[in-house]
Structure 1
Amino acid sequence: MSAVTTARTRSASTAPGAGRGPSGERAVTVGSHTVLGIWSLIVLLPFAWTVVSSFKTTREIFASPFSLPERWQFVNYVNAWRTAGIGSYFLNSVVVVGCALVLTMLMGAMSAYVLARFSFRGRGVLRFLIVAGLTFPVFLAVVPLFFILRQMGILNTLPGLILTYATYAYPFTVFFLMSFFEELPGEIAEAASIDGASEWRTFFQVMLPMAGPGLAAVAILNFVGLWNQYLLPVVLNSNRDNYVLTQGLGAFASASGYDVDFGALFAGSVTTILPVLLVYLVFQRRLQGAVAAGGLK
Structure 2
Amino acid sequence: MASEVAAPAVLRSRARTRRTVPPGERVVGGVSQAVLIACTVVVVLPFLWTFMSSFKTSAQVLQSPFTLPDRLHLENYVNAWTQAGIGRFFANTLIVVGGALVLTMLMGSMCAYFLARFRFFGNRAIYLLMVAGLTFPIFLAIVPLFFILQGLGLLGTLPGLAITYSAFALPFTVFFMVPFFRALPESVTEAAAIDGAGEWRTFFQVIVPMARPAIATLSILNFVGLWNQFLLPVALNPDTSKYVLTQGMAAFAGTAGYSIDFGALFAAVVMTIIPVLIVYLIFQRALSGSVVVGADK
Q: Common fold, TM-score beyond 0.5?
A: yes
Residues 103 and 150 of structure 1: CA distance in aligned 2, closer, same or farther (over 3 Å): same
What is the rounded CA distance, in whole Å, between the counterparts of 1:75 and 1:147 in structure 2? Answer: 43
Q: CA deviation at 1:293?
A: 5.7
What is the rounded CA distance, in whole Å, between the counterparts of 2:23 and 2:282 in structure 1? Answer: 38
TM-score by length of 2: 0.90
TM-score by length of 1: 0.90
Q: Greater shift after overlay, 206-215 or 142-151?
A: 206-215
Residues 273 and 165 of structure 1: CA distance in aligned 2, closer, same or farther (over 3 Å): same
What is the rounded CA distance, in whole Å, between the counterparts of 1:247 and 1:236 in structure 2? Answer: 11
Partner of 2:238: 238
Q: CA deviation at 1:290?
A: 4.4
Q: Deviations over 1:34-75 (max 9, x none)?
A: 111110000000000000000000000110000000111110
Q: Deviations over 1:204-257 (max 9, x none)?
A: 111111111111111101000000000000000010110000100100111111
Question: What residue identity is the alignment partner of 2:42?
Answer: I
Percentage of pairs with the same residue:
60
8 Å CA contact 2:111–2:174 kept in 1: the answer is: yes
Partner of 1:47: 47
Partner of 1:36: 36
What is the rounded CA distance, in whole Å, between the counterparts of 1:20 and 1:194 in structure 2? Answer: 55
Partner of 2:152: 152
Aligned CA-pair RMSD: 1.7
Q: CA deviation at 1:28?
A: 2.9
Partner of 2:70: 70
Question: What residue identity is the alignment partner of 1:147?
Answer: F
8 Å CA contact 1:54–1:263 kept in 2: the answer is: yes
Q: Deviations over 1:140-164 (max 9, x none)?
A: 0010000000000111111110111
SS in structure 2 at match of 1:289: helix
SS in structure 2 at match of 1:70: coil
Question: What residue identity is the alignment partner of 2:218?
Answer: V
Gapped regions of structure 2 (runs ≥ 5)? 1-18
Partner of 1:203: 203
Question: What residue identity is the alignment partner of 2:123?
Answer: R
8 Å CA contact 1:108–1:173 kept in 2: the answer is: yes
Give the 5 Å matches for 1:69-218: 69-218=69-218
Gapped regions of structure 1 (runs ≥ 5)? 1-18
4+ long deviations beyond 6 Å: none
8 Å CA contact 1:53–1:263 kept in 2: the answer is: yes
8 Å CA contact 2:217–2:290 kept in 1: the answer is: no
Partner of 1:12: none
Q: Deviations over 1:115-144 (max 9, x none)?
A: 011100110110111011111001100100
SS in structure 2 at match of 1:155: coil
What is the rounded CA distance, in whole Å, between the counterparts of 1:281 and 1:121 in structure 2? Answer: 42
Q: CA deviation at 1:21?
A: 2.3
